[in-house]
Amino acid sequence: MVQLIMKTLMMFFGMMLFGLLISQAVVVEAADSSFTQADRDRMIRFEETLKAVNQRIDALNQRLDDNLKAINQKIDDGLKATNQRIDDLKGVIYVLISVTMSSVLVIVGFILWDRRTTLAPVVRTTKELEARTERLELIIKEKAEKDPELKEALRHAGLL
């Protein structure tokens, strides 16, 4: 883009100088149709001026190219640094996710272990009470065979 602008400016200045040269030639031609030494010297000075302008434009163009390269390098360096930071953040996120998942699994394991250890005495006590209740029922049924009032009470309660 910058090069296109520089070339356009160069063409513009060239056309202006060419227009000046032609206008001078028309004036000279109108006044005198012969080409004099002064005309030749003027054209040489004009060519030297045009060369100097072209050299300055080329130098400016080179400086602009160098500046653009430096800017592009800075942008590339910034992008590389940003990408590195993103990669570092990905690593941190993976570690955090791993720690979180591990913590959840440990908590679930602890809950299951705690439940089992908490329920084991309750289950054992329940089984003991059921066995004791069965024995008591047997004793009461045997006693009810000998005692008619107890037998009637058990029938009434639905235990016989």
Give me the number of domains the chain comprises. Answer: 1
Indicate whether 45 belongs to any domain.
Answer: yes
pLDDT of residue 28: 46
30-41 in b/e burial notation, b at 16+ Cβ within 10 A? eeeeeeeeeeee
Residue from 51, 52, 50, 68 nearest 5 by CA: 68
Range of the domain at 76: 2-146
| Position 105 pLDDT exceeds 80 | yes
Indicate whether 154 belongs to any domain.
Answer: no
Indicate whether 155 belongs to any domain.
Answer: no
59-71 in b/e burial notation, b at 16+ Cβ within 10 A? eebeeeeeeeeee
Indicate whether 157 belongs to any domain.
Answer: no
Q: How many percent of the chain have pLDDT more than 90? A: 52
Collapsing DSSP to helix, strand or coil, 1 comes out as: coil
Indicate whether 73 belongs to any domain.
Answer: yes
